[in-house]
A and B are shown apart, each in its own frame.
Chain A
């Protein structure tokens, strides 16, 4: 083996100088350090050069990390240009939506607050207490009265009109001839001016005085007269009412308001329920008929569960709308909402106190309206979640 090795390397001219082991070690170390430095140096040099040298065009990738700062900023700005589009809406909402929410929460706790001058006496629950007690000292509407009115009207008229709408939709769904004509007429009250039609309804119930020796007691009283019922003053000053403490229950006016609200609420409810019934798959009905189900059974066990989501939707939106009713009451009973605000609603309460210049009470009232609506929304959500599992 040794000979062979010598043969391969025939000319071992100037063999590397044999150093001391320690010296050799240091020489190697030096070479390694130099190599390391050279590597690093070129890397660092490349880095700095790259930083200041303009890159060739083809290396510019759109969202690469090596964009110039200006370019990056420009691109960033451009990608945020959506803000420019939403800016008008945002500014308007800031002034007329976001600020009022905050202001309502803050200002309702200012005692004796005057909106115009911004003066107030101190912080506390004074406004709320006075509003609830009816101790506002301005002769305006009474909050408890308004709350009771709103709740009574809403929770009677909404279920009633939903039930009636259900009956009409079932009837409408069962006929084949002139369905379209009935539909059109029934939908007519759909789009009306609540205030104007309220005024029309008031004439149905109105007893008019004896000018020129003529008088009318109104259509409703005439019809009731056929059944031997003596005329009732439905909307006037002598309208009958029950008194419970300071609370007045003007039942005659309630009836008028409920009739009007049922009439004006029906078309929308019929539209929703009828179109829901039309979209039920006909196979269910055929299957039920084959199994010998009666009409009532079909209605109760097929139609009703299938349109349950729509019914609960109508109840929710109806109650929400009912809590905010106002225009219809003005149309029926005039700007003062009956006699001494005995037909006032919660929204009517707010406007009453704005017009009286008592913005502190108006703020407190609006906050309470908000809380009541939130509670009802919460209850609605709880109930409808259970109900809508039919689908």
Chain B
């Protein structure tokens, strides 16, 4: 029987409903509608269950990260894991802030690392923005010999994986004696061809009549750029700012290669080991029971410190971040 209902198309069903002369047909279609409705509900339920499962799995690592960071190490190691901590051990966070020695042997406190990350993030974002804006402006609005060739070469470098540059750059900065400084973290990444390309396209979309109107009003080129073009492309600029800062926050490889621990960034800090270290005043979480073993609860607290700011940023600036990322397919 169900086969018949499957084959029945919409127009036929409508005819069946209104054609009173076909008594049997009417009965059948009513039944069919009922069956269709049940089928629809079953499908709907299935879809919702599937989506709920996916949503739970998507959120689970975040939840696990947060609760693990608040558990005691004993509770974390229980053979049946608890999905809500018996006791909240906020001291885990206190411990990672006061951790200065990691398994790699070099020292860097959380405060130092945070200052590094914020300074490099802000400087690299602001300077990068200036470079990107003036370059995009020149490429979009000014006429000079070789402009198109230059732009083509710049775009061509996007094809080449950045890893190809890293080896040479590593040697270059070592020869320039730039190791262990903020400069070395900022300078090589100031120019981003993709953002220049994005902003240039944005600038090109601004009608030329606006430029002429500004000229009539006696605005200089620079004034036009600052007073007209930048406000008009603000959404793109906000996207670029956010993505650049996130990129700096997540940078791991380059700081590890060129700088020692006290000059590195927050992501490098997370890769270190976190042990229950006996503090100068004699305080320790577990009385030194775990020795120099890296503890997962402390590590999860560190992971929270790196991940939660990103999560908060994402929730509040989702629109701008997505706009930037969905075009490039890359993060930062």
Indicate if the CB atoms of A185 and B58 lie closer than 8 Å: yes
Q: Is B77 an interface residue (CB 8 A)?
A: yes
> Within 8 Å CB of B44, what residues of A?
175
Residue of B whose beta carbon sits closest to that of A181: B55
Indicate if the CB atoms of A214 and B296 lie closer than 8 Å: no
Q: Is B214 an interface residue (CB 8 A)?
A: no
> Within 8 Å CB of B64, what residues of A?
200, 203-204, 219
Q: Is A166 an interface residue (CB 8 A)?
A: no
Indicate if the CB atoms of B170 and A200 lie closer than 8 Å: no
Contact of A222 among B10, B59, B62, B81 (CB under 8 A): B81
Docked complex: A89-127 residues within 8 A CB-CB of B:
89-90, 92-93, 95-101, 103-104, 107, 115-116
Residue of B whose beta carbon sits closest to that of A355: B257
Contact of B157 among A93, A200, A331 (CB under 8 A): A93
Residue of A whose beta carbon sits closest to that of B167: A362
Q: Is A62 an interface residue (CB 8 A)?
A: no
Q: Is B11 an interface residue (CB 8 A)?
A: yes
Among A22-30, A129-137, A151-159, A320-328, the one that faces the other chain is A320-328
A186-B144 CB under 8 A given contacts A100-B167, A192-B310: no
CA distance A199 to B306 in the complex (A): 12
Indicate if the CB atoms of A263 and B57 lie closer than 8 Å: yes
Indicate if the CB atoms of B172 and A96 lie closer than 8 Å: yes
Indicate if the CB atoms of B252 and A216 lie closer than 8 Å: no
Residue of A whose beta carbon sits closest to that of B289: A212
> Within 8 Å CB of A390, what residues of B?
none
Among B15-23, B105-113, B229-237, B318-326, the one that faces the other chain is B318-326
Residue of A whose beta carbon sits closest to that of B246: A191
Size bin of chain B's contact surface: 35 or more
CA distance A216 to B165 in the complex (A): 44
Docked complex: B86-141 residues within 8 A CB-CB of A:
131-132, 134-135, 137-139
Indicate if the CB atoms of A101 and B314 lie closer than 8 Å: no
CB distance from B275 to the nearest CB of A (A): 12
Instruction: Please encode chain B, from 136 to 175, with 1 for each CB lying within 8 Å of some chain A CB and 0 for all others.
Output: 0111001111010010001001011101111111111011
CB distance from B246 to the nearest CB of A (A): 7
A294-B6 CB under 8 A given contacts A200-B64, A321-B330: yes
Indicate if the CB atoms of A92 and B134 lie closer than 8 Å: no
> Within 8 Å CB of A369, what residues of B?
161, 163-164
A266-B58 CB under 8 A given contacts A96-B165, A99-B168, A199-B299: yes
Indicate if the CB atoms of A80 and B145 lie closer than 8 Å: yes
Indicate if the CB atoms of B143 and A82 lie closer than 8 Å: yes
CA distance A354 to B134 in the complex (A): 35
Among B26-34, B183-191, B203-211, the one that faces the other chain is B183-191
Max chain B C-beta neighbours (<10 A), residue from A103, A190, A193: A193
Indicate if the CB atoms of A366 and B6 lie closer than 8 Å: no
Indicate if the CB atoms of B290 and A97 lie closer than 8 Å: no
Indicate if the CB atoms of B168 and A100 lie closer than 8 Å: yes
Indicate if the CB atoms of B313 and A191 lie closer than 8 Å: yes
CA distance A95 to B81 in the complex (A): 53
Instruction: Please encode chain B, from 237 to 262, with 1 for each CB lying within 8 Å of some chain A CB and 0 for all others.
Output: 00000000010011011001100000
Instruction: Please encode chain B, from 59 to 87, with 1 for each CB lying within 8 Å of some chain A CB and 0 for all others.
Output: 10110110010000110111111000000
Secondary structure of the A side of the interface? helix
Q: Is B202 an interface residue (CB 8 A)?
A: no
CB distance from B223 to the nearest CB of A (A): 15
Q: Is B293 an interface residue (CB 8 A)?
A: yes
Q: Is B48 an interface residue (CB 8 A)?
A: yes
Q: List 24 A-B contacts (CB under 8 A).
A: A79-B143, A80-B145, A83-B144, A85-B138, A88-B134, A97-B157, A104-B167, A171-B50, A185-B55, A185-B58, A191-B321, A193-B306, A196-B270, A200-B303, A203-B300, A290-B9, A291-B9, A321-B330, A327-B267, A350-B163, A354-B170, A366-B163, A366-B164, A377-B159
New A-B pairs, 5, CB < 8 Å, besides A182-B51, A199-B270:
A83-B138, A96-B187, A116-B174, A208-B296, A321-B329
A interface list, Cβ under 8 A from B: 79-83, 85-86, 88-90, 92-93, 95-101, 103-104, 107, 115-116, 167-168, 171-172, 174-175, 182, 185-197, 199-201, 203-204, 206, 208, 211-212, 214-217, 219, 222, 263, 266-268, 271-272, 275, 289-292, 294, 313, 317, 321, 323-324, 326-327, 330-331, 334-335, 347, 350-351, 354-355, 359, 362-363, 366-367, 369-370, 373, 377
B interface list, Cβ under 8 A from A: 6-11, 44, 47-48, 50-52, 54-55, 57-59, 61-62, 64-65, 68, 73-74, 76-81, 131-132, 134-135, 137-139, 142-145, 147, 150, 154, 157, 159-161, 163-172, 174-175, 187-188, 190-191, 193, 196, 246, 249-250, 252-253, 256-257, 267, 270-271, 289-290, 293, 296, 299-300, 303, 306-307, 310-311, 313-314, 318, 321-322, 325-326, 329-331
